[in-house]
């Protein structure tokens, strides 16, 4: 048995499928790949797959990963990506296959890119800077134990901002993201709506999954 | 650690590589997609979706399914025809589904025209706009989709040889309530006739012919009905007097039949939805038609003659589909799969590889008398969640009237087998409002349910520690064209409600639950099933009033529908509740599905006498389908020689 880490991106049309749907896509592609994937040994055997961290519906992921197992220790990793890609939707692409170095539950943060766009040339950058300059920015955080008020300032105030043109802004932010929970980058959009009355088109991309020391998981 | 140091295979993922050069453009913005339920319905991009270069195709066909993605993507017909059309290099067939109400609102608000999933191009740019007509209550969606596409609803308002609106499927057997909106209806099996018409269009286009000439020529192809070429006259009492063909159109349009199922086109691949749909599995059609002749069942008459695929062909098609889709379940589909003549042998053959490949088999349409322990042993992978059978009527008298040819003894034997095999939940489908039905017949549904419960407690090998659950479901009967009950006036909604009350008010066991389905939707279904061209005005009015998704309880608005009828001065009861005279001319009499009106009449009379008719395998009933000279009709003849 050999543990194998599959690196993939989920972009374009595939952004709009849920995590559960993604697992089904992967299972079908792995089945068709002809690779020596290991099946769970229960009453209904299924391909063993563990995803690092589910992506929210609508969020792109560029350096996502999942673990599978090969039944043969010596199974080569060369050519594995191509074999899986041949059966995946075009917007889910495996771009790397490695032997895992870190455990998946060591993921503590993620780096997100948020691309904001508004019609007209609303001064997005000023508004966002103004928003966090004013003090606590509380939004409702939807959690397992119900909704609660949550101040997003500590998480978003230091984010990187780059103006891409009139009304278009690229933000980069590192947020907690782990098995025990995290901060959803979409909360920024909620804050912009409730505090500034702004509803820009916000495209969120998870760019990287990070360990406690901010290095990328490998 | 430097990201670039990571040992990955030769592929790499550039962080800023968010816009692939060949990335398919989505028709809708991110913001709109994020504002609706299940955005995955609207983005395409599935495995096996067919992409072509629009500059290299000559005829573009928008295959429209007038319901949401999850339902349309589970439909077999669209998979077959999508594959058949796209096999031709110069045709490109794309899929279009009805946007759910939230997306419809967005599209209207933002002025986004209905588009095809593959290319994202507006439907208004297509040569053909084809609808599959599966259900009368999807008609408003058909018109709504044309409207969203920005295409004039009425065929007469579309003058050019472009945007040819065509329709097929079971409801095309009486397409009159849609006649003003469609250019062409395809009758019968579409695998060949659709392609012939597309080819004709291509030629007409090249020769710069007009739409009228194209339609005149198309009407000469067997299986093509061009409604505009028929003048309808009505009697003073509102019934049809005559249909008169014009410009050389045939007086009677014959349906097309693909006789040899083995050589008929069947796809080796179909788009695999990325989101969960109603049936996330492979559908392998094992046979077409039905031997049974249940008198309420339209499909049983429309799809005659009964034709089977050979085991070799089914096996090869299943292997190909497993290899192209990655699905782990194959459904052996048909109107009645337990009537496949060598079912056990077929399943044994498939098991030679399916078990190894971790693929399970399922039989979606089991008859009460087709359920054997032997079969169960072969389909052991079927989940034991619940079993569904359709005795259709509670009393034996009633089952004889509808020619169900299932006895109570058979049903009780079957559930006994099921209990022994470990099932504890049984669902039974019935109809109420059947011809000659009495209160006793309705109450017999409950008695039958009680007997099933008793059978459970009388079974010594029943699962231990589990209680039996029997769900009785009663739908209101809708008389349909091309069935022996096409003359029958549907029970009024009041009568149906009274029967529903009889059912729900007399349940004596906690192990039995009763559910029924809307009298109002069934009434509307009955109106359009046997309607005529005068209903086109009502359809148009209904769409104007914003009606759509009538098959969805949360969208169905009966009162508005009644307003639409009233506004048009049309009495819906004339179509639904009126019992027709045996000599009445029907709006579908000029359409020929092989089964003769004389045969249907004889069956109607036998029904009222409580006489059953043997199935096609037992004895030919001379229904008329022999005219196609194929399938079981011919096999029987050979046996008899």
pTM: 0.93
A95 contact residues in B (CB cutoff 8 A): 8-9, 11-13
Are B365 and B453 found together in one domain? no
Cβ distance of B9 and A29 shorter than 8 Å: no
Cβ distance of B24 and A13 shorter than 8 Å: yes
Residues β-bridged to residue B313: none
* Interface residue A53 vs chain B (CB under 8 A): no
Residue B630 lies in a domain: yes
Q: Which of A16, A18, A20 sits opposite B33 (nearest CB)?
A: A16
Are B483 and B405 found together in one domain? yes
Helix axes B535-544, B139-149, angle to 10 degrees: 60
Q: Return the CATH number at B418.
A: 3.30.750.200
Cβ distance of B274 and A20 shorter than 8 Å: no
Cβ distance of B12 and A96 shorter than 8 Å: yes
Write the ipTM.
0.94
3-state class (DSSP) for residue B614 = coil
Are B399 and B521 found together in one domain? yes
Residue B325 lies in a domain: yes
Structural domain A105-211, CATH architecture: 2-Layer Sandwich (3.30)
pLDDT, residue B7, reads: 37
Cβ distance of B42 and A16 shorter than 8 Å: yes
- How big is chain B by its Cα radius of gyration, in Å? 26
Residue B219 lies in a domain: yes
Cβ distance of A13 and B6 shorter than 8 Å: no
**A53 contacts A177 by C-beta, under 8 angstroms:** yes
Q: Which residue has the tokens 């993604």?
A: A22
Are B581 and B630 found together in one domain? no
Are B448 and B306 found together in one domain? no
Q: Which of B12, B44, B326 sits opposite A13 (nearest CB)?
A: B44
Cβ distance of B8 and A27 shorter than 8 Å: no
Are B42 and B97 found together in one domain? yes
Residues 6+ apart with CB under 8 A from A62: A9, A11, A205, A206, A207, A208, B13, B15, B17, B18
Q: Which domain holds residue B618?
A: 281-382+611-641
- Output the six-digit token pair for A112: 């997100």
B213 CB neighbour count, 10 Å cutoff: 13
pLDDT per residue of chain A (218 residues) written in tens, 0 to 9: 999 999 999 999 999 999 999 999 999 999 999 999 999 988 788 999 999 999 999 999 999 999 999 999 988 999 999 999 999 999 999 999 999 999 999 999 999 999 999 876 568 888 888 888 888 999 988 777 788 889 999 999 889 999 888 788 999 999 999 998 899 999 999 999 999 888 899 999 999 999 999 999 99
pLDDT, residue B17, reads: 45
3-state class (DSSP) for residue B129 = strand
Nearest CA in chain A to B118: A13
* Mutation for B interface: A33, A36, A91, A93, most B CBs within 10 A: A91
Over the range B339-363, which residues count as b (16 or more CB within 10 Å of their CB) and which as e? bbeebeebbebbeeebeeeebbbbb
3-state class (DSSP) for residue B232 = strand
Residue B136 lies in a domain: yes
Please name the residue ranges forming H helices in B247-370.
298-302, 311-325, 343-354
Cβ distance of A12 and B8 shorter than 8 Å: no
Could you tell me which residues of chain B have a Cβ less than 8 Å from any Cβ in chain A? Answer: 1, 3, 6-9, 11-13, 15, 17-18, 20, 23-24, 26, 29-31, 33-34, 39-40, 42-47, 272, 274-276, 280, 323, 325-328, 358
- Output the six-digit token pair for B357: 């490949």
Q: What is the pLDDT of residues A11-31, one digit of tens each?
A: 999 999 999 999 999 999 999
Cβ distance of A12 and B45 shorter than 8 Å: yes
Residue B2 lies in a domain: no
Cβ distance of A16 and B24 shorter than 8 Å: no
Cβ distance of A31 and B328 shorter than 8 Å: yes
Q: Return the CATH number at B90.
A: 3.40.50.280
Put simply, the chain A residues between 22 and 41 with a CB less than 8 A from any chain B CB are: 24-25, 27-29, 31-32, 39
pLDDT along chain B (641 residues), means of 10: 37 45 77 96 96 97 98 97 98 98 97 97 98 97 98 98 98 98 98 98 97 98 98 98 97 97 97 95 96 96 97 98 95 93 94 91 80 73 70 96 94 91 90 96 96 94 89 96 98 96 92 92 97 98 96 95 98 98 97 98 97 95 95 72 42
Cβ distance of B8 and A97 shorter than 8 Å: yes
Cβ distance of A32 and B326 shorter than 8 Å: yes
Nearest CA in chain B to A64: B13
| B230-234 and B240-245 beta bridge pairing | antiparallel
Q: Which of A9, A16, A90 sits opposite B40 (nearest CB)?
A: A16
**DSSP letter, residue B108:** H
**DSSP letter, residue B19:** S
- The CA–CA distances, whole Å, from B159 to A208, B210, B581, B588, B631 equal 56, 8, 39, 26, 41
From A136's Cα to the closest Cα of chain B, the distance in A is: 27
Cβ distance of A28 and B327 shorter than 8 Å: yes
**B594 contacts B304 by C-beta, under 8 angstroms:** yes
Q: How far apart, in whole angstroms, are the C-alpha atoms of residue B531 and residue B515?
A: 29
From B105's Cα to the closest Cα of chain A, the distance in A is: 18
Are B317 and B430 found together in one domain? no
A88 contact residues in B (CB cutoff 8 A): 47
Q: Which of B8, B30, B47 sits opposite A89 (nearest CB)?
A: B47
Residue B554 lies in a domain: no
- Do the domains A105-211 and A2-100 match in fold? yes
Nearest CA in chain A to B48: A89
* Mutation for A interface: B1, B3, B38, B326, most A CBs within 10 A: B326
pLDDT, residue B23, reads: 65
Cβ distance of A58 and B30 shorter than 8 Å: yes
Are B476 and B461 found together in one domain? yes
Structural domain A2-100, CATH architecture: 2-Layer Sandwich (3.30)
Q: Which of B13, B325, B327 sits opposite A62 (nearest CB)?
A: B13
B269 contact residues in A (CB cutoff 8 A): none
Residue B164 lies in a domain: yes
pLDDT, residue B367, reads: 80
A-B CB pairs within 8 A amount to 116
Cβ distance of A96 and B8 shorter than 8 Å: yes
B329 contact residues in A (CB cutoff 8 A): none
Q: Which of A7, A17, A57 sits opposite B8 (nearest CB)?
A: A7
For chain A, give every domain's residue range: 2-100, 105-211
Cβ distance of A21 and B24 shorter than 8 Å: no
Are B525 and B638 found together in one domain? no
Are B231 and B288 found together in one domain? no
What string of DSSP letters covers chain A? -EEEEEEEEE-GGGGGS-HHHHHHHHHHHHHHHT--BPBP-SSS--B--EESSPPPTT-EEEEEEEEEEESSTT---TTHHHHHHTTS-TTEEEEEEE---S-GGGEEEEEEEEEEE-STT--HHHHHHHHHHTS--EEEEEETTEEEEEE-HHHHTT-EEEEEETTEEEEEEEEEEETTEE--THHHHHHHHHHH----EEEEEEEEEEETTSPBP-
Are B456 and B322 found together in one domain? no
Are B229 and B81 found together in one domain? yes
The number of distinct structural domains making up chain B is: 3
Cβ distance of A98 and B276 shorter than 8 Å: no
Cβ distance of A7 and B43 shorter than 8 Å: no
Residue B557 lies in a domain: no
B17 contact residues in A (CB cutoff 8 A): 62
């Amino acid at each position: 048995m050999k543990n194998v880490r599959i690196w993939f991106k989920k972009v374009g049309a595939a952004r709009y499928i849920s995590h559960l749907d993604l697992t089904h896509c992967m299972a079908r592609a792995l089945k068709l790949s002809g690779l020596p994937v290991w099946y769970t040994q229960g009453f209904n055997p299924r391909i063993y797959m563990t995803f690092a961290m589910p992506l929210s519906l609508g969020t792109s992921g560029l350096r996502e990963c999942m673990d599978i197992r090969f039944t043969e220790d010596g199974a080569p990793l060369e050519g594995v990506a191509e074999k899986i890609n041949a059966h995946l939707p075009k917007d889910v692409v495996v771009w790397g296959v490695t032997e895992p170095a870190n455990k998946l539950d060591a993921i503590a943060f993620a780096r997100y890119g948020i691309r904001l766009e508004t019609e007209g040339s609303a001064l997005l950058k000023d508004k966002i800077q103004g928003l966090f300059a004013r003090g606590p920015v509380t939004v409702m955080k939807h959690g397992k134990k119900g909704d609660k008020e949550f101040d997003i300032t500590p998480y978003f105030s230091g984010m990187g901002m780059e103006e891409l043109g009139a009304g278009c802004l690229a933000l980069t932010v590192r947020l907690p993201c782990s098995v025990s929970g995290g901060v959803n980058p979409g909360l920024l959009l909620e804050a912009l709506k409730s505090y500034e009355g702004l509803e820009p088109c916000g495209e969120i991309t998870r760019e990287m999954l990070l360990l406690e020391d901010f290095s990328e998981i490998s | 650690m430097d990201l670039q140091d990571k040992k990955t295979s030769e592929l790499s993922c550039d962080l800023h590589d968010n816009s692939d050069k060949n990335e398919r453009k989505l028709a809708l913005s991110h913001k709109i997609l994020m504002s609706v339920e299940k955005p995955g319905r609207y983005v395409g991009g599935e495995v096996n979706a067919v992409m072509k270069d629009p500059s290299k195709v000559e005829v573009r066909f928008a295959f429209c399914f007038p319901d949401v993605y999850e339902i349309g993507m589970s439909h077999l017909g669209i998979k077959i025809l999508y594959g058949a059309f796209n096999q031709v290099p110069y045709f490109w067939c794309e899929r279009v589904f009805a946007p759910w109400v939230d997306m419809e609102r967005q599209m209207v608000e933002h002025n986004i025209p209905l588009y095809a999933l593959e290319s994202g191009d507006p439907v208004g740019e297509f040569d053909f706009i084809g609808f599959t007509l599966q259900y009368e209550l999807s008609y408003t969606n058909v018109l709504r989709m044309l409207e969203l596409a920005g295409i004039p609803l009425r065929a007469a308002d579309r003058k050019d040889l472009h945007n040819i609106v065509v329709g097929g499927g079971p409801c095309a057997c009486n397409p009159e309530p849609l006649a003003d909106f469609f250019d062409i209806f395809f009758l019968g099996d579409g695998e060949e006739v659709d392609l012939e018409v597309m080819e004709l269009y291509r030629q007409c286009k090249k020769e710069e012919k007009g739409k009228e000439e194209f339609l005149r020529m198309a009407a000469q192809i067997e299986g093509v009905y061009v409604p505009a070429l028929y003048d309808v006259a009505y009697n003073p009492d509102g019934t049809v007097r005559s249909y008169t063909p014009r410009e050389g159109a045939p007086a009677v349009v014959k349906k097309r039949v693909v006789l040899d199922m083995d050589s008929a086109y069947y796809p080796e691949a179909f788009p695999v939805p990325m989101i969960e749909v109603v049936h996330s599995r492979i559908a392998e059609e094992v046979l077409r038609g039905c031997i049974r002749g249940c008198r309420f069942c339209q499909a049983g008459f429309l799809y005659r003659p009964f034709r089977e695929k050979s085991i070799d062909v089914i096996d090869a098609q299943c292997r190909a589909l497993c290899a192209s889709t990655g699905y782990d379940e194959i459904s052996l589909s048909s109107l009645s799969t337990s009537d496949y003549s060598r079912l056990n042998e077929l399943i044994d053959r498939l098991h030679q590889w399916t078990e190894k490949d971790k693929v399970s088999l399922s039989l979606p349409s089991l008859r009460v008398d087709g359920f054997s322990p032997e079969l169960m042993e072969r389909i052991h992978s079927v989940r034991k969640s619940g079993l569904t059978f359709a005795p259709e009527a509670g009393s034996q008298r009633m089952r004889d009237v509808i020619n169900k040819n299932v006895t109570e003894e058979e049903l009780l034997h079957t559930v006994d087998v099921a209990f022994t095999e470990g099932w504890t939940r049984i669902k039974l489908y019935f109809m109420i409002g059947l011809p000659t039905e009495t209160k006793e017949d309705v109450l017999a549904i409950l008695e039958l349910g009680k007997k099933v419960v008793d059978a459970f407690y009388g079974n010594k090998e029943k699962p231990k520690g589990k209680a039996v659950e029997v769900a009785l479901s009663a739908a209101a009967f809708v008389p349909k064209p091309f069935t022996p009950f096409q003359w029958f006036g549907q029970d009024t909604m009041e009568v149906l409600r009274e029967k529903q009350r009889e059912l729900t008010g007399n349940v004596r066991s906690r192990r039995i639950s009763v559910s029924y389905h809307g009298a109002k939707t069934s009434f509307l279904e009955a109106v359009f099933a046997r309607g005529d061209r005068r209903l086109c005005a009502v359809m148009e009015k209904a769409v104007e009033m914003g009606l759509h998704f009538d098959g969805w309880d949360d969208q169905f608005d009966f009162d508005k529908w009644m307003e639409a009828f009233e506004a048009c001065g049309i009495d819906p009861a004339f179509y639904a509740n009126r019992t027709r005279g045996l000599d009445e001319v029907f709006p579908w009499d000029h359409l020929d599905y092989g089964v003769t009106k004389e045969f249907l009449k004889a069956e109607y009379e036998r029904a009222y006498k409580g006489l059953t008719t043997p199935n096609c395998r037992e004895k030919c009933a001379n229904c008329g389908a022999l005219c196609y000279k194929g399938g079981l009709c011919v096999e029987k003849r050979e046996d008899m020689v």
